[in-house]
Amino acid sequence: MRTRNAVFLLVAFLMLHSISTIYAQGRVPGPGKRPDVLDLDNMPKVNGENLKIERYMQEPHIINPSALCFDKMGRLYVGAGPQYRAPKPDSPKDYIKIMIDKDHDGKVDEVKKFAEGFNSIQGMVWRDNELWVANAPDLTVLIDTDGDDAADIYRVVYRGLNTLRHGLHGLNWAPDGKLYMSYGNTRSGDHAPQVIRDLQGIRSSEPDKNPYNEDYTVKTYEKGYRTMKKQETEGAILRCDRKGKNLELFSRGLRNPWDITFDTEFNWLGTDNDPGPQRDRIFMPIELGHYTMRHPYKFDWAGKHKAVAPVAALFPTVSGSGTGVIYVQNDYFGEKHKGRYFIAD
């Protein structure tokens, strides 16, 4: 059982990096010409004892998976669809599906659609019976009230967030009872929470109505959409209480932090993406820490200047894309990997 769980966890963790990358690079045909089998030669290579890659599910169940999580029964939820990375007002919408392996043979036997109608899903996390979804430019909570594996309530918590790949990612409910989120540096909208407007220098006469906490159904819910503005400002790590209240800044000075996680002692670790020669960086978010983007005194991507918060490491890539990070606190991957971080780059 432990070996099987380890394989499922690793496959799920790498799915965003592997399948999305293969699709984006044109290694498989587009919609209407989907392959019957996945090109296993293009799957990630792993080195280490007890580690291997297996196919858990594939198209046509999903296209371009961009977020995933597990519910309390251990079932895999996948956010996917054609929205990322170039959505348009009339683009087909993203969806969330449940992948169920009834006989535990490592293959999906049943697929259920949990929710649909979203723009650009980039993060998901459970809290009790609520599935919190980062679907830029909104933050939405989904609730299944009757237990039929389909969301009945679509609760919009925040509006006016930034969009596309520099949007809202890395949702984590932490031991202090707060939701931690990574937030990219693309300019947000006039309806963004005031905390974000202050961070990004947005002047707006629009009153701050966040959190909205407005409830819809699958029939009445309408996805948020914002025209992409390429103006880059400043990204951050944010946190809030239940129902989105008391939103506050935790760390700032980031470009496009994608995923964050914490260890058993509540120490955070995340990845911050940069397309230039500086390479991606691994950083440890600390309260009130500044990581140099738009720093008024010193820009230092490597985090070696005393005026800025230090970074943990730089990825050995020219233009990488750190998109996932987990902390392994058990021995499912063997004793050698217990207490270590796994990062999809």
Architecture of 2-344 per CATH?
6 Propeller (2.120)
Residue type, 85: R
Domain ranges in the chain are 2-344
Cα separation of 180 and 177, whole Å? 10
What 3-state DSSP class applies to 134? strand
Burial 69-98 (b: 16+ CB within 10 A, else e): beeeeebbbbbbbbbbeebeeeeebbbbbb
Give the pairing type, strands 289-290 and 248-254.
Answer: parallel
Evaluate whether 164 touches 128 at the Cβ level (below 8 Å).
no
Mean pLDDT of the chain: 84
Q: Encode pLDDT of 295-337 as tens digits.
A: 988 888 888 888 899 998 887 765 567 888 999 998 888 888 8
How many H-runs (helices) and E-runs (strands) does the chain carry? 2, 20
Q: Evaluate whether 254 touches 237 at the Cβ level (below 8 Å).
A: yes
CA gap 264, 110 in Å, rounded: 34
Percentage above 70 pLDDT, the chain: 83
Q: DSSP characters for 270-281? A: EEE---STT--E
Asked if 315 and 282 count as a contact pair (C-beta separation under 8 A), the reply is: yes
Please report where in the chains the tokens 């049943």 appear, as a residue. Answer: 110
At residue 28, does pLDDT exceed 70? no
